[in-house]
């Protein structure tokens, strides 16, 4: 049962009102949307409400816009190629500084940081803060969220304006670009604070609430991104020197050691398919799901409206029913995204049933790729499944209407959470760090633990050629001449098999320095090339970052009208 999310967003409506920040507010000397700190931070209960207001930005960002920001990678793309100043232009690498979604995500992350700054200042100023572990834990949550929002800014835009004081304290609204390395330092400081002031998850704790595991897992993600390639403001694509990279990888391993020592987080015991069916069904289990962004709308029109399973997921036609029957049928799913169909042949599958479903082998294939849709049949007065064999309209399948409880409040809206961080990702991040520090043997053990859970064969020296040379595309942009290179090749595929559509793939390709090459490879060979132009459109030295929104360039003189490289 989703108990915490109901509380969170009922309270979030109020907290959001208390801490609402808009462009107009930021330009107001005394924002009238703020309660005085002496009022809102007078009790622990009110302080907790302020923290809830920091959470409250997450569903706005991840409700549907963050489905497009990591797209297109080599696993999925947006349907339709005409310009829309929104998701299509983002996914097809035709984005400009006037893109409305880019502006919204920019504003949303800065609003989250402003709320976090205000909340941290307020709680740290409360009486007995230095001795009160509950108040320190609340600050840990707020700092985790500030780190998450700041990490988004760095990954999406590189060097950006950044400060850790609220507008109420620092009236200087206009800030110059800040080096991403300084921002990374602050992100790491915030996560280090969070991990030492938050408790580990237990069966009684919802994954909708930040825990120590969430802080450590996000820190691992941040460190790997920092160790990789990124587009600099001078147009070069660089990564840290070897000594710094080794330092970051070793820090990832240290966090992994803490996961092992705690021992709570693990793979979902019912298996991969049931894990994702559970997300759609509303199951809360904090064993594999380390942190989820919660969605809940009491009536389908207000609150934190979700679109997981409708905007992304297999197509479901609108049911032709009366309003009195909405509790008896599936709602609609508009299915705005498509999977790159060639991935279906890459999974390690040995046996299928008569319908082509996996019997023996990697069960992730039939979760990742959905090759059917639901039409509405007037005669039988219900939805009917229609299988598509040609791959043109195959859908990301990790969230599906058919896996949700029957009935709906709004045909487009769901209460399905988005799992921002899960254990399998942590395992693969640790595996990568071991390989990059010379312990490839341990890296293989961890990667193969992920494959074993999915039913795929473990990769060994003996079967590497069969599974990584003959089963998948040859990757000319990753050398597999030595053991470490073989592991990098396997990891390229494994993170795709395991984590497709979950927001990390595009940024893996960027930090590995192979995004252009990967998009070109898949785009050139795909049967859906005309609908998937990412490989042709992606420009190296430009599209690793998004453009600074036009409104921001015009409003903030510190930018000196200079956008990110090649925009």
Query: Each residue of 153-196: pLDDT tens digit?
Result: 999 999 999 999 998 776 678 999 999 999 999 999 999 999 99
Alpha-carbon distance of 401 to 412, in angstroms, equals 10
- Mean pLDDT, the chain, integer: 93
What tokens appear for 228 in the block? Answer: 């990789």
Burial code (b: 16+ CB inside 10 Å, e: under 16) for 410-435 equals: ebbbbbbbbbbbbbbbbbbbbbbbbb
Query: Each residue of 505-519: pLDDT tens digit?
Result: 999 999 999 999 999
- Give whole-number Cα distances, 147 to 61, 112, 153, in Å: 15, 10, 10
Alpha-carbon distance of 323 to 407, in angstroms, equals 11
Choice among 169-183, 268-282, 469-483 with the minimum mean pLDDT: 169-183
Tell me how far the alpha carbon of residue 19 is from its chain's centroid.
25
- Give whole-number Cα distances, 98 to 126, 174, 232, 310, 537, in Å: 42, 20, 22, 27, 18
Query: Each residue of 78-96: pLDDT tens digit?
Result: 999 999 999 999 999 999 9
What phi and psi, each to the nearest 5 degrees, are found at residue 62? -100, 5
- 560 CB contacts (<8 Å, ≥6 apart)? none
Alpha-carbon distance of 191 to 202, in angstroms, equals 20
Identify the residue with better confidence: 37 or 64.
Answer: 64
For position 189, what pLDDT does the model report? Answer: 98
Query: Each residue of 287-320: pLDDT tens digit?
Result: 999 999 999 999 999 999 999 999 999 999 999 9
**104 CB neighbour count, 10 Å cutoff:** 15
Alpha-carbon distance of 321 to 378, in angstroms, equals 10
Alpha-carbon distance of 142 to 55, in angstroms, equals 8
What phi and psi, each to the nearest 5 degrees, are found at residue 77? -150, 170
Query: Which of these, 141, 248, 250, lies nearest to 191 by C-alpha position?
Result: 141
- We find that the CATH architecture of domain 199-294+420-513 is Alpha Horseshoe (1.25)
Alpha-carbon distance of 436 to 430, in angstroms, equals 10
Asked whether the predicted pLDDT for residue 199 surpasses 80, the reply is yes
For position 356, what pLDDT does the model report? Answer: 94
Alpha-carbon distance of 499 to 398, in angstroms, equals 10
For position 36, what pLDDT does the model report? Answer: 63
For position 173, what pLDDT does the model report? Answer: 80
Strand segments, DSSP code E, in 145-251 are 230-231, 237-238
Model confidence at 2, in pLDDT bands (50, 70, 90)? low
Asked whether the predicted pLDDT for residue 443 surpasses 70, the reply is yes
| Burial of residue 234 (number of CB atoms within 10 Å: 0-12, 13-18, 19+) | exposed
Asked whether the predicted pLDDT for residue 67 surpasses 80, the reply is yes
The residue ranges of every structural domain in the chain are 199-294+420-513, 303-416
**Percentage with pLDDT > 90 across the chain:** 90
């Amino acid at each position: 049962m989703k108990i915490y999310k109901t509380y969170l967003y009922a309270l979030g409506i109020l907290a959001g009102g208390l801490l609402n920040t808009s462009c107009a507010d930021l330009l107001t000397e005394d924002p009238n949307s703020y309660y005085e700190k002496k009022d809102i931070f007078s009790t622990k209960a009110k302080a907790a409400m302020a923290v809830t207001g920091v959470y409250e930005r997450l569903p706005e960002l991840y409700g549907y816009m963050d489905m497009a920001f990591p797209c297109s990678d080599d696993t999925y793309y947006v349907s339709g190629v005409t310009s829309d100043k929104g998701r299509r232009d983002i996914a097809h690498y035709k984005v400009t500084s006037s893109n409305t979604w880019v502006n919204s995500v920019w504003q949303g992350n800065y609003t989250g940081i402003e709320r976090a700054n205000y909340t941290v200042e307020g709680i740290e100023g409360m009486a007995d803060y230095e001795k009160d572990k509950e108040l320190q834990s609340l600050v840990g949550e707020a700092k985790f969220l500030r780190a998450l929002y700041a990490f988004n800014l760095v990954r999406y835009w590189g060097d950006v304006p950044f400060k850790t004081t609220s507008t109420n304290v620092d009236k200087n609204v206009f800030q110059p670009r800040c080096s991403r390395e300084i921002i990374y330092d602050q992100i790491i400081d915030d996560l280090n604070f969070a991990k030492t002031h938050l408790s580990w998850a237990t069966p009684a704790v919802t994954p909708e609430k930040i825990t120590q595991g969430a802080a450590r897992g996000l820190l691992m993600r941040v460190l790997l991104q920092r160790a990789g390639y990124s587009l600099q403001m001078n147009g070069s694509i660089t990564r840290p020197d070897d000594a710094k990279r080794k330092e970051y990888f070793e820090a990832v391993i240290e966090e992994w050691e803490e996961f092992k020592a705690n021992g709570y987080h693990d793979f979902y015991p019912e298996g991969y398919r049931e894990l994702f069916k559970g997300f759609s069904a509303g199951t809360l289990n904090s064993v594999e799901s380390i942190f989820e962004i919660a969605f809940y709308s009491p009536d389908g029109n207000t609150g934190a409206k979700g679109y997981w399973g409708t905007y992304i997921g297999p197509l479901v036609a609108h049911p032709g029913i009366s309003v009195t029957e909405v509790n008896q049928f599936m709602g609609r799913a508009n299915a705005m995204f498509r999977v790159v169909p060639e991935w279906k042949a890459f999974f390690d599958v040995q046996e299928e049933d008569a319908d082509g479903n996996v019997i023996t082998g990697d069960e992730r294939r039939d979760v990742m790729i959905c090759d059917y849709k639901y039409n509405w049949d007037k005669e039988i007065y219900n939805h009917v499944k229609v299988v598509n064999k040609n791959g043109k309209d195959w859908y990301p399948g990790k969230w599906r209407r058919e896996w949700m409880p029957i009935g709906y409040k709004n045909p487009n809206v769901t209460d399905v959470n988005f799992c921002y961080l899960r254990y399998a990702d942590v395992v693969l991040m640790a595996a990568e760090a071991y390989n990059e520090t010379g312990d490839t043997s341990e890296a293989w053990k961890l990667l193969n633990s992920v494959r074993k859970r999915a039913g795929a064969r473990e990769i060994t020296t003996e079967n590497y050629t069969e599974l990584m040379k003959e089963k998948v595309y040859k990757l000319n942009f990753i050398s597999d001449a030595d053991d470490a290179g073989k592991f990098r090749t396997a990891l390229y595929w494994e993170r795709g098999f395991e984590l497709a559509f979950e927001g990390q793939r595009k940024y893996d390709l960027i930090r590995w320095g192979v995004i252009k090459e990967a998009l070109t490879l898949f785009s050139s060979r795909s049967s859906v090339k005309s609908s998937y132009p990412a490989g042709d459109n992606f420009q190296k030295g430009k599209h690793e970052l998004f453009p600074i929104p036009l409104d921001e360039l015009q409003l903030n003189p510190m930018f000196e009208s200079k956008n990110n490289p090649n925009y």
